[in-house]
Amino acid sequence: MTEVNKVGGIIAHINFEFYFITLFRLLLACILGGLIGYERESMNRPAGFRTHILVCMGSALVMITSVFIFEKYKGITNIDPARLGAQVISGIGFLGAGTIIREGANVKGLTTAASLWAVSCVGIAAGIGFYEGAIFAALVIYLTLIVLKKLEHNLTGKKHLSILHIKTSNSPGQIGNIGYTFGKYGISINDIEFLDNEDSDEVVIKFFVKLPNSIKKKTIISELKKIEGVSKVFEE
C-alpha cells in the first residue's frame, strides 16, 4: 500500500460530521452563555461574561463527552448518558455559593447564583443537541434578568437596596441628623457600620439603606452633603 493510500484510509476514518457537530454545540453554548453573562457583567456582578461562558461551555462539553462514551461503549456495558449531566447540575452549587455575599443584614448574589445554575442547564441542552430548548431557555433567562427586574420594582413597589458611605464629623447627634434626612425621604436604614478612619475628628459610616422607587440616589446624596459636618458621600 502506498503512502497516498494510507493517508486516504486515515482520512476516511475521520468523522468530520462529529467534529462539526461538536464545534457547533460548543459555539452555541458560548454564545448563549455569553448573552446571559453580558447582562450580569453590566450589573457589576461577581460572576460575569467570561464566567457564564465557561460554565455553559463546560456543561456542553460534559454532555458531548457523555454521548461519546455512550456511543463507544453501549454494546459493552450499561451506561447512563445523563449521569455526567446530573453531576454538573448538583456540582454547580459550589460556584454559585461563591457569588453570594452577606453584607450586614442583607444578602447579595442570589440572582447571579441562580443564573449560573440556569446557564449550566442551557449548556447541557446545547451539548446533548436539544438546540430549541437551549435557545428558548437562554432567551427567557435573559428577558427575566432584564425585563422582570424592572417590573418587579414597578408592580410591587419594592425598594432599592443601596450602600452609602458618609464621611462626617465625629460629633454628638450627627447620626441623628443623617437619620432625619433619610426619614424625610422615606428611606429605611437596614444596618449601620463604622469604618476605621485615621482622622479622629471625622468618622466614615457605612449605611445599608432601602430607597423608594420615587427617590433617585443623586437626590439623596445631594441632600446628605448639605448636612453640616458631612464632607463626603459616595455609593459603594
Assess whether 13 and 92 both reside in one domain: yes
Of the candidates 156, 190, 205, which is a domain's last residue? 156
Lowest pLDDT segment from 52-66, 70-84, 147-161: 147-161
CATH number at residue 187: 3.30.70.260
Q: Are strands 202-211 and 160-169 parallel, antiparallel or unpaired?
A: antiparallel
Q: Are strands 101-103 and 106-108 parallel, antiparallel or unpaired?
A: antiparallel
Domain, as residue range, for 204 = 160-235
Assess whether 87 and 72 both reside in one domain: yes
Q: Measured between alpha carbons, how far is 7 from 2 in angstroms, rounded to an integer?
A: 9
Per-residue pLDDT for 11 more than 50? Answer: no
Assess whether 103 and 123 both reside in one domain: yes
Task: Out of 21-30, 78-87, 99-108, give the one with best mean pLDDT.
Answer: 21-30
Assess whether 172 and 142 both reside in one domain: no
Of the candidates 156, 184, 213, which is a domain's last residue? 156
The pTM of this model reads 0.60
User: In total, how many domains does the chain have?
Assistant: 2
Per-residue pLDDT for 6 more than 50? Answer: no
Assess whether 35 and 150 both reside in one domain: yes
Average pLDDT over residues 204-227: 84
Assess whether 175 and 123 both reside in one domain: no
Confidence class for position 211, pLDDT limits 50, 70, 90: confident
Beta carbons within 10 angstroms of residue 4's beta carbon: 8
Assess whether 214 and 164 both reside in one domain: yes
Average pLDDT over residues 32-46: 81
Assess whether 228 and 189 both reside in one domain: yes
Of the candidates 156, 171, 204, which is a domain's last residue? 156
Assess whether 149 and 54 both reside in one domain: yes
Assess whether 83 and 174 both reside in one domain: no
Residue 97 main-chain phi, psi, to 5 deg: -65, -30
Average pLDDT over residues 212-218: 78
Whether residue 187 contacts residue 212, with contact meaning beta carbons closer than 8 Å, is answered with: yes
Question: Which pLDDT belongs to residue 126?
Answer: 92
Average pLDDT over residues 118-135: 92
DSSP state of 79: -
Assess whether 89 and 191 both reside in one domain: no
Assess whether 165 and 138 both reside in one domain: no
Mean pLDDT of all residues belonging to the chain: 80
Per-residue pLDDT for 179 more than 50? Answer: yes
